[in-house]
Structure 1
Amino acid sequence: MSRVLVIGAGGVGHVAVHKMAMLPDVFDDIHLASRTVSKCHAIAESVLERTGVTISVDSIDADDVAATVALIERIEPDVLVNLALPYQDLTLMEACLQTGTPYLDTANYEPPDEARFEYSHQWNLHERFRDAGIMAVLGSGFDPGVTSVFATWARKHLVSGIRQIDILDCNGGDHGHPFATNFNPEINIREVTAPARHWEHGRWVESPAMTTSVAFDFDQVGERNAYLMYHEELESLTTHFPEIERARFWMTFGDAYINHLTVLQNVGMTGIEPVLYNGHEIVPLQFLASVLPAPEGLGERTTGKTNIGDIITGPAIDGSGEKTVYIYNVCDHEACYAEVGSQAVSYTTGVPAMIGAALMVQGVWSGSGVYNTEQLDPDPFMAMLNEHGLGWQVAELDGPVTF
């Protein structure tokens, strides 16, 4: 039995809290806090209606360390689950350090004034968390998160090392809008418009954003164009598995998305530098995010499926030669909405957040310091994926990917 504090009431927070409420034997006291407390109340009402569980809600500015410390001291949670914006990772980690509270998030820190996310800011806190005797788990979403656990599980059970890894993220859903993002618009567009980077033979190779693509036939979705991007699990995987020769991340986008994004870039709407408008400074990308459809409102109109997984090549663990395996999950948007009132992109991040928190409060994942998910035992996490709506499968391929 445990008490959990979730900070962030967007689409992912919505899913995570619902799934926690469905595990009363693990999470018997759930608190949800956000800057916009009305969103917390809406989630609480949905949780009560769907599960019969009452959760507590609070208002919090996650940028305010002192206020967060006061909230933590009042609630005394066994773990703080950060589902707010990546800009707030460091302030929330600081609040956890000051209160001796274990910490978990789903996305690594990104400075507000620079579209560059990297783990160094959080890894630098490892000794402080170690000395405080508390655990911080970074990136317990799907990618990063599940994709890293997939890699660790394969390395434990199928291959003795990873020579190549390609992470493929396909959203085959249709929400009917001309242009919308399936998670926070500001974070999504910053990721997509950043230069692509992949790891090859001991160095990072950079290329212009959205210039390299391949057609891939995704199970239960069909053929889609996947674009080479940079994603944070590439940094952590190549750090913790130094034998990796090549690591790449691919994400699918439709032609309409690409066309809209190109126009928005060309007219300056994806910029992150403030501009003066009617005597007020505004950030174009933040304004754009405010007028786009909210991701948490897409669930009832989204159809189709997601398919996310890893293609991994390495020496077979039984010594039989080189082996290539494809480990992936397929998730149905409509099934997610029927269960928790959310589309599959939020679901595939919110469920792993719940699983990571459950493993921490039960002591299955334990330690002192800052950890990425690939550094922890994958087996209990993989078992819980199957039990809580994100079943996975493994296919052996004829050989390494050639794209």
Structure 2
Amino acid sequence: MSTVLVIGAGGVSSVAVHKMAFNSDIFTNIHLASRTKSKCDAIAASVKERAGVDVTTYEIDAEEVPAMVNLIRKVEPSLVVNLALPYQDLPIMDACLEAGVSYLDTANYEPKDEAKFEYHWQWAYHDRFKEAGLMALLGSGFDPGVTSVFTMWLKKHKLKTIRQLDILDCNGGDHGQAFATNFNPEINIREVTAPARHWENGEWVETPAMQVRTEFDFDEVGKRNAYLMYHEELESLSKFIPELQRARFWMTFGDEYIKHLTVLQNVGMTGIEPIKYQGRDIVPLQFLAAVLPKPETLGETTKGKTNIGVIATGEALDGSGEKTFYINNICDHEAAYEETGNQAVSYTTGVPAMIGSAMLVTGKWNGDGVFNMEQFDPDPFMDMLNEHGLPWNVREMDGPVDF
């Protein structure tokens, strides 16, 4: 018997809860809470219709630690699954420690007043979780998450060492909107407009946002422009693969997205510092997020596919010299919507959240303290990707990528 408490009621949460309900042999009792209970109720109704499983819902402010502790003690879960905003990671971890329950999330902590997402705030909790005999698993989404598992699978089965790593995230979907983001607009725009950083020869190299671009031909999507960005799995991968000489993250954006984002930046709408408006403090980016289409509403109109994967170069495990492998997943927006009522960007994060949760509640991954995905055996996670809607492919390439 495993009881889980999921925090957050966006598209990722919807996918994760649906997938948990489809695996009721693992997740026997599912509880869902967010600031807006009506969103939880809508997810619960869809789950009941699609899976015939009851989900119990609650209203909660995840930043209110005493309230979170009370809810956790009421539900008595074996795991709290944080699918809320990254700002709320630390309060939820505090509540888990006080209530004595393990923790999982999909994105690392980010302070509200600075567009800076790093693991050090959460890594600092390691000793406290270890002393409490609890486990915290960080970043069990796709990127971060599956990309790290892909990398460690290659290191276990194909490459003795990894010298060079490129993560490529392509959303080839079209939602028909002039400008919209496929996950939380505030988090998405903060990530995209932050300076790009990549790991090279033992240090971080910083470049202006959206200035370094390459073209890549993605299977089942086609050629797309991909932009160098910073993403949090670079931090953990560079820590857990000491021989890594270079690691980069690339994400595709269409010309219309870039054009709209540039205009919004130029007029100050992506700012995170409060401004006075009619006697009230408002954050421009939060106002922009409020008027943009909600990501969870895009599923019905989004067509096309995502293609996310990693290209790794290093010394072959069989001693045959240096080799390069490409491992990726291709996900269809329409198939994802048909199964869960959500588009593929939410699906590719929500399914790994469910799988990571399954790793913990079944004991396939275990330990006391705070852990990243790279620290565990990738095989059982990879098996569940194939079984639960995110099948992967791996192939050898002619040589290292040249971009």
Q: TM-score, normalised by structure 2?
A: 1.00
The aligned amino acid for 2:290 is S
Q: Which runs of 4+ in 1 moved over 3 A?
A: none
Q: Could you tell me how far apart the structure 2 residues matched to 1:322 and 1:89 are?
A: 40
Q: Could you tell me how far apart the structure 2 residues matched to 1:369 and 1:151 are?
A: 22
Q: Which residue of 2 aligns with 1:183?
A: 183
1:135-156: CA deviations, max 9, x gaps? 0000000000000000011001
1:82-102: CA deviations, max 9, x gaps? 000000000000001111101
Q: Could you tell me how far apart the structure 2 residues matched to 1:365 and 1:296 are?
A: 31
Q: Which residue of 1 aligns with 2:378?
A: 378
Q: Could you tell me how far apart the structure 2 residues matched to 1:36 and 1:92 are?
A: 17
| Residue 126 (1) aligns with residue 126 (2) | yes
Q: Secondary structure at the match of 1:227?
A: strand
Q: Could you tell me how far apart the structure 2 residues matched to 1:141 and 1:44 are?
A: 21
Q: Could you tell me how far apart the structure 2 residues matched to 1:120 and 1:54 are?
A: 37
The aligned amino acid for 2:283 is V
Q: Which residue of 2 aligns with 1:151?
A: 151
Q: Could you tell me how far apart the structure 2 residues matched to 1:127 and 1:195 are?
A: 32
1:57-113: CA deviations, max 9, x gaps? 000000000000000000010100000000000000000111110100000000000
1:222-264: CA deviations, max 9, x gaps? 0000000000000000011111000000000000000000000
Q: Which residue of 2 aligns with 1:231?
A: 231
Q: Which residue of 1 aligns with 2:270?
A: 270
| Residue 362 (1) aligns with residue 362 (2) | yes
Q: Could you tell me how far apart the structure 2 residues matched to 1:162 and 1:26 are?
A: 35
Percent identity over the alignment is: 71
Q: Secondary structure at the match of 1:49?
A: helix
Q: Secondary structure at the match of 1:300?
A: coil
Cα displacement (A) at 1:118: 0.3
Cα displacement (A) at 1:395: 1.0
| Residue 114 (1) aligns with residue 114 (2) | yes
The aligned amino acid for 2:388 is H
Q: Which residue of 1 aligns with 2:52?
A: 52
Q: Which residue of 2 aligns with 1:258?
A: 258
| Residue 397 (1) aligns with residue 397 (2) | yes
| Residue 76 (1) aligns with residue 73 (2) | no
Q: Which residue of 2 aligns with 1:352?
A: 352
Please list, as runs of the form range in 1=range in 2, the aligned pairs for 1:2-401 lying within 5 A after superposition: 2-401=2-401
Q: Could you tell me how far apart the structure 2 residues matched to 1:285 and 1:116 are?
A: 15
Q: Secondary structure at the match of 1:301?
A: coil
1:338-389: CA deviations, max 9, x gaps? 1110000000000000000011000111000000001111000000000000
The aligned amino acid for 1:274 is P
Q: How many residues align?
A: 403
Q: Could you tell me how far apart the structure 1 residues matched to 2:26 and 2:164 are?
A: 37
Cα displacement (A) at 1:161: 1.2
Q: Could you tell me how far apart the structure 1 residues matched to 2:156 and 2:193 are?
A: 35
The aligned amino acid for 1:223 is K
Cα displacement (A) at 1:32: 0.3
Q: Could you tell me how far apart the structure 1 residues matched to 2:43 and 2:237 are?
A: 34
Segments of 5+ residues of structure 1 without an aligned counterpart are: none
Q: Could you tell me how far apart the structure 2 residues matched to 1:337 and 1:250 are?
A: 25
Q: TM-score, normalised by structure 1?
A: 1.00
Q: Secondary structure at the match of 1:310?
A: strand
Q: Could you tell me how far apart the structure 2 residues matched to 1:201 and 1:295 are?
A: 38
Q: Could you tell me how far apart the structure 1 residues matched to 2:129 and 2:242 are?
A: 24
Q: Secondary structure at the match of 2:186?
A: helix
Q: Could you tell me how far apart the structure 1 residues matched to 2:24 and 2:15 are?
A: 15
The aligned amino acid for 1:21 is A
Cα displacement (A) at 1:184: 0.1
Q: Secondary structure at the match of 2:161?
A: coil
Q: Could you tell me how far apart the structure 2 residues matched to 1:197 and 1:223 are?
A: 24
1:110-131: CA deviations, max 9, x gaps? 0000000000000000000011
Q: Secondary structure at the match of 2:109?
A: coil
Q: Secondary structure at the match of 2:239?
A: helix
Q: Secondary structure at the match of 2:47?
A: helix
Q: Could you tell me how far apart the structure 2 residues matched to 1:89 and 1:64 are?
A: 12
Segments of 5+ residues of structure 2 without an aligned counterpart are: none
